Chains A and B, each alone.
Chain A
């Protein structure tokens, strides 16, 4: 089993209190992996640390794909961007091609058609000329997904891409991500809805400050582990 991402003894802290404590987990190549855990468990922090956006206090992250530019795709939460930025959905999707362009080359015809094609795949082709701020949260999320698709990465990180998305688009997004996995790509996703974990994913990491369990869904996604993750904070507070 080749690891697409590996985290060893990771501790992350913004202030004095650690957000992640001694986290170690592996995500195998080609898997569709969920990161689940209660609010404030450190899911987004774990993802950002894996992407190299947050510096860990201790421990290390190894993602072989980071060696090639553009091989790591990231779909941030849509709240993280400025809604008033003067940019169209198409321009955002085209940004996915930047990594393969280098410093001076401008996006060519091929890049432009890839961007259009990716917008079509997420069902946003009709909104190509819309300003990003004119789109709803779920639509923005899909435009960011199109950007990541345009990048043609090897491993994709998505931070709650289903937040504020209706049932129809949720199914569409999941089928796109499954398609990526079928092509041998790895998809890691912060996920909130425990009811759909079994249906969507083949790998799951349950975290809350530390790793509660991490492995194949059928092996580790059980009542006991979920209870442990979702009551640990409460138990700590009681002590």
Chain B
């Protein structure tokens, strides 16, 4: 028993060392990490601009392009196939945008249709191509679920260059991207060309999505954009922090997912990477301080206890409340309290800073009933 416990970490360490010394694994893990990093960065902006769905559409729509590129050129080169993927993703995006603009069909509906049509077309083309001699060796199927092991050193170098360019772009124009994501209408009104920044962000999203389908697959690629961003949002209060953290989460997911799929026979890399990213997101949603579900529950219970305790000493509470409200007519305390018509509870609790400030907007109804019931 003890021997097993002791040897388990040693075994794990040994396996990890064995993995790290393996050239193929190192290459693949590095490639997956780079893709994860880029997805994390770009994903933050997609999520905040509510364009996460677009990434999903782009990755699905890339599939027919891959097969068509193979059928036309006969090449197995990843660069050629990905160029085809990009072309069909852009085509689908253009069709979606045009449909949404020219008809009364909503953007999401148009996207859903374009995505299904393109993906369906991709699958149909795929089954036709598979019957051609030599096609199975081209490994087209890897683009559906992803197969990181097909990544070679040349792919890693190419994506490293792209990742560097992307990081440099985001660092230099961070201010512009932030404004374009936060309030594009304000930017346009002030004469700042937020359209260019927004367009660049969309282009980057499509590029990263298409690049990622080789490792992660068309079906799941969008999850790698969304999950790290969602996870990172839980831990930070600034966009810069969120972007950096999402990059780390994405990269870690890439490496961990690759490691898991190399250790377990028959587990494809794409799902392994995406499951890792989702676990990180799930833990973050639950356990992050401040925004996590657990922290919110604790805070709410504490607040409730204080409201109840305050109500026990009604005369004192009543005696104190009016001066509290009128004492600072110009200050924020007063302003937090009044608009919701819940002046009293908010004002008495406001000394508690964040808890009180978030109470009126998110738990407004619940907080009110608490106070009323007690």
Residues of A near any B CB (own CB < 8 A): 15, 48, 51-53, 66, 68-74, 76, 80-82, 84-88, 91-92, 95, 98-99, 101, 103-104, 106, 123-124, 126-127, 130-131, 133-139, 144, 147, 151, 153, 157, 164-166, 168-169, 172
Contacts and interface: CB of A to CB of B under 8 A. Distances in A.
B237 A88 contact: yes
18 contacts: A15-B104, A48-B185, A52-B188, A66-B191, A69-B192, A81-B182, A81-B183, A82-B48, A86-B236, A86-B237, A98-B179, A123-B331, A126-B331, A133-B361, A134-B361, A135-B357, A136-B339, A144-B186
Interface stretch (B9-17, B238-246, B301-309): B238-246
Contacts of A151: 190
A135 to B, nearest CB: 8
Classify chain B: how many residues form its interface, as a range: 35 or more
A85 B338 contact: no
Contacts of A52: 188-189
B358 interface: yes
Interface of B: 48, 50, 104, 172-173, 175-176, 178-179, 181-183, 185-192, 233, 236-239, 241-242, 329-332, 334-336, 338-340, 354, 357-358, 360-361
A85 B190 contact: no
B282 to A, nearest CB: 18
B332 A127 contact: yes
B189 A168 contact: no
Given A123-B330, A139-B335, A166-B339, A74 B189 contact: yes
Contacts of B179: 95, 98
A87 B182 CA distance: 9
B192 A138 contact: no
B179 to A, nearest CB: 6
A140 B95 CA distance: 37
Given A69-B192, A80-B183, 9 more contacts: A15-B104, A51-B188, A80-B185, A86-B241, A87-B238, A131-B237, A136-B336, A136-B340, A153-B190
